[in-house]
Amino acid sequence: MTLATQPIKQVLAQQPEERSVPVFETERLILRAPRRGDITAIVRLVSDRRVAENTARIPHPYGVDDAERFVAAVNRRDGEATFVITRDGKLIGCCGVEARENAPEIGYWLGARYWGRGYATEAVRVAIDHAFGVLGHDTLQAGARVSNPASRRVLEKCGFQWTGVGLYRIRAINSSAPLDRFRLDRGLWASLKAWGRAREVA
């Protein structure tokens, strides 16, 4: 049984206590921890196949149970932080850093109606600053489907360097697909911080 099929009570019982995540404000966005009140908005955005199939682990179709498990499971382990991205009080996406075996990984998605406006770059920079600053990571990795050049551009604008291509399982299409892999280390991040830091507001 995986996290995706476990009942919510079982998920909560197996998870450590939720850790506090700061609230950040950028020029246009607010980033904060997900909460139960976000579930309807998350389902509405992620149930769009165009969103799900550009991530590795979001299933399609995506329902309320999936969103409940997501909210119940995040921000409970050291070295991790997950944020919902809001614009004018409306949830538009999600981003964060997750501990992985080789190196922590940055991940993100936006509702399709919010693509192409620079929101992903703005939000991912907050997650990167938090990962290197507060969480103390020395390197980050990320991936983007080869068929998703917009996601690749987000990573490149945030300083990630291309490291190669690999085949990865994509849950939404129930198959493997090639992903461009990227890496960013602390030294390069430090030289790029001219992009300006988000203001921590809570």
The domain limits of the chain are: 8-138
Q: Give per-residue pLDDT as tens, 54-105.
A: 999 999 999 999 999 999 999 999 999 999 999 999 999 999 999 988 899 9
Structure tokens at 66: 């999936």
State mean pLDDT over 165-192: 95
**Number of C-alpha atoms within 13 angstroms, CB side, residue 197?**
12
Whole-angstrom distance, CA of residue 174 vs CA of residue 3: 17
Nearest Cα residue to 96 out of 110, 83, 111? 83
Whole-angstrom distance, CA of residue 75 vs CA of residue 5: 19
Whole-angstrom distance, CA of residue 140 vs CA of residue 159: 11
Q: How many C-beta neighbours within 10 Å does residue 160 have?
A: 26
Q: 8-138 sits in which CATH class? A: alpha beta
Q: Give per-residue pLDDT as tens, 18-52.
A: 788 999 999 999 999 999 999 999 999 999 999 99
Q: How many C-beta neighbours within 10 Å does residue 18 have?
A: 14
User: What is the structure's pLDDT at 68?
Assistant: 98
Contacts of range 13-18, beta carbons closer than 8 Å, 24 or more positions apart? 15/72, 15/73, 15/76, 16/76, 16/77, 17/76, 18/75, 18/76
Structure tokens at 182: 């990227």
Query: Which pLDDT band, with edges at 50, 70 and 90, does 6 fall under?
Result: very low
Res 179 pLDDT > 50:
yes
Q: Give per-residue pLDDT as tens, 163-178.
A: 999 999 999 999 999 9
